[in-house]
Amino acid sequence: MKHDKYTVGSLFAGIGGFCRAFKNEGFNVVWANEMDSYAAQTYRHNYPETRLIEKSVEELSVRADELQPVDILTAGFPCQSFSLAGNKLGFKDPRGRLFFEIIRLLKEFGDQKPKILVLENVKNLIYHDNKNTIYTIEEEIKRAGYWFRVPLDQKGNLISNRSNAVVLNTKEHTDIPQNRERLFMIAFSQQHFKMNAFKFPQTIENLNDVRDYLDLQNKLDEEYYFDEESKYGKMFANKMAEGNEDSVYLLRRAYVRENKSAATFTLTANMGEGGHNVPVIKDDWGIRKLTPVECARLQGFKDTSFSFPKDMPKGKQYKQIGNAVTVDLVQRLAAECRRNLIEQGERQ
């Protein structure tokens, strides 16, 4: 059996974190959708073989855009309206309502709808609006014809051994040292599966050191270094003098935090909005920010299979990486998707 016969479509594709993960696992990504022009440039630069439809998901149409039916549909839909750091407006925010565009497209596929849905969002989605948001998502996915449940205990936490949604942390489920918690939701089509038997990955013990992902052999461009006599430079220098010089540091409003677990803090889209949002380290030449390439490695993008277009602004690079999923983590989900497709005998 050739696993590359299994096909994938990707909504909110960004720079292709989901796509790279499924490609690594032997799937054929046949189309993707992304509306941000800068992210689309990066996507085309890395996946010229995949059809990219550059438009809003609200304008996307199965029929008009001739979307090929796929085995798996991935969607890391916008999280700002559900995040603790956002406006928390949820479905009252136009970005939050984009979830319903996923449901619309599923219905447009009719009896050719994807066999498996792989969705991603922030952890707080579980608790948003007194849990009404996650219950709405559950009902909409069920009505679209999928096995999907998100049982919660009395404290409002997911009952992980019974749930089709779970919070996974990059540093606990891969060897990549990034503290990144995200909610992953997996739904199986009732038309193709008798039940949802998806098994989320178990935690792993081996964690690489964050400095293994960094370029420490040579001095970088001056733009990455802080003037240690400046306000922020002094703040970092003072904190590093108190802590471990090999740790990763981050400025949060008026104070500097140290990550003491040989990992980095969560890489966010806000990295593209200013230097104080980018993780900081000390190398042999001074105190500096991580580069976009280093951040990409900490999201699982390998130098050998990923790069930014030559003229992509640094701020856009940081934002795109922060918006991405961790490739290695999603690849574990992709492997489990493949196992279920094979065992169900959908491709003989």
Q: How far apart are CA 205 and CA 192, in angstroms?
A: 35
What tokens appear for 197 in the block?
A: 């038997």
Alpha-helical segments (H) within 132-210? 132-143, 170-173
Give the amino acid at 70.
Answer: V
Q: How far apart are CA 191 and CA 147, in angstroms?
A: 10
Report CA 308 to chain centroid distance, whole Å: 17
Give catalytic status of residue 79 as yes or no: yes
Question: 186 forms bridges with which residues in the sheet?
Answer: 118
Place of tokens 């979830």: 99
Q: How far apart are CA 287 and CA 227, in angstroms?
A: 8
User: What distances in angstroms separate CA 68 from CA 8, 105, 342, 346, 347, one per listed residue?
Assistant: 9, 12, 21, 17, 17
Q: Of 19, 79, 295, 337, which one is the catalytic site residue? A: 79
Residues with active-site annotation: 79
